[in-house]
Amino acid sequence: MRINPWLWLAGAALFIALSYAWMSGVGAAIGENWWNDAMQSHPACEPALCS
């Protein structure tokens, strides 16, 4: 069975759009706080990443 490339492209675009919306909107506080906590607790933390 052959997958339609346009269907695959639409699915990929939808996934990317949802991921972007999650990280920039609802998930921003959760995602950024989790990332900052993980980076600050990491022994090889770069100052630029921890700001």
Dig out the tokens for 27 from the structure.
Answer: 């998930």
Secondary structure (H, E, C), the chain: CCCCHHHHHHHHHHHHHHHHHHHHCCCHHHHHHHHHHHHHHCCCCCHHHHC
**33-49 per-position pLDDT tens digit:** 666 676 666 555 555 55
Residues spanned by the domain of 14:
5-41
Residue at 49 is within a domain = no
CB within 8 Å of 36: residues ≥ 6 apart: 50
Q: How far apart are CA 24 and CA 29, in angstroms?
A: 9
Q: HSE-up of 28 (CA within 13 Å, CB side)?
A: 5
Number of domains in the chain: 1
Residue at 29 is within a domain = yes
**8-39 per-position pLDDT tens digit:** 999 999 998 888 877 666 666 666 666 667 66
